[in-house]
């Protein structure tokens, strides 16, 4: 005996759809029969990262490696994390400056 599923609403934007599915009020099992779901792979998708070569003073790199070792994370991951954090700070401060200048 199959449970009656609710129809998935029509959304006017991706943001509206994301908000709907992320809401605690909405349970996807009321809209989708997950027992019929199939695992799929997308083998031709390109990674969203780009490999770069970065020259860095040896003592700086060794300090980063030592810190990463203490945190038990790969040093490249730590560098990416720190870069992402700095970019986020720059974006926030840039948007604050632009809003304040109007």
Per-residue pLDDT of the chain (102 residues; tens, 9 = 90+): 567 999 999 999 999 999 999 999 999 999 999 999 999 988 888 878 888 999 999 999 999 999 999 999 999 999 999 999 999 999 988 877 655 555
Classify 100 as helix, strand or coil: helix
User: Which pLDDT belongs to residue 44?
Assistant: 85
DSSP one-letter code for 28? G
Rounded CA-CA distance 43/35 in Å is 24
The per-residue DSSP string of 35-74 comes to GG------TTPPPS---------HHHHHHHHHHHHHHTS-
C-alpha 47, offset from chain centre: 13
pTM above 0.85, yes or no: no
Rounded CA-CA distance 54/68 in Å is 18
Q: Are 3 and 34 in contact (CB under 8 A)?
A: no
| Torsion sign over Cα 75, 77, 80, 86 | negative
User: Which pLDDT belongs to residue 70?
Assistant: 96
Q: Which helix (H) or strand (E) holds 13?
A: none
User: Which pLDDT belongs to residue 67?
Assistant: 96
User: Which pLDDT belongs to residue 78?
Assistant: 97
């Amino acid at each position: 005996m199959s449970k009656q599923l609710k129809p998935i609403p029509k959304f006017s934007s991706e943001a509206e759809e994301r908000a709907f599915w992320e809401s605690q009020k909405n349970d996807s099992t009321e809209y989708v029969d997950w027992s019929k779901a199939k695992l799929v792979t997308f083998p031709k998708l390109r990674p969203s990262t780009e490999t770069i070569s970065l020259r860095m003073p040896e003592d700086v790199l060794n300090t980063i490696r030592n810190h990463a070792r203490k945190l038990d994370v790969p040093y490249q991951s730590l560098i990416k994390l720190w870069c992402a954090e700095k970019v986020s700070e720059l974006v926030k401060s840039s948007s604050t400056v632009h809003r304040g200048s109007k």
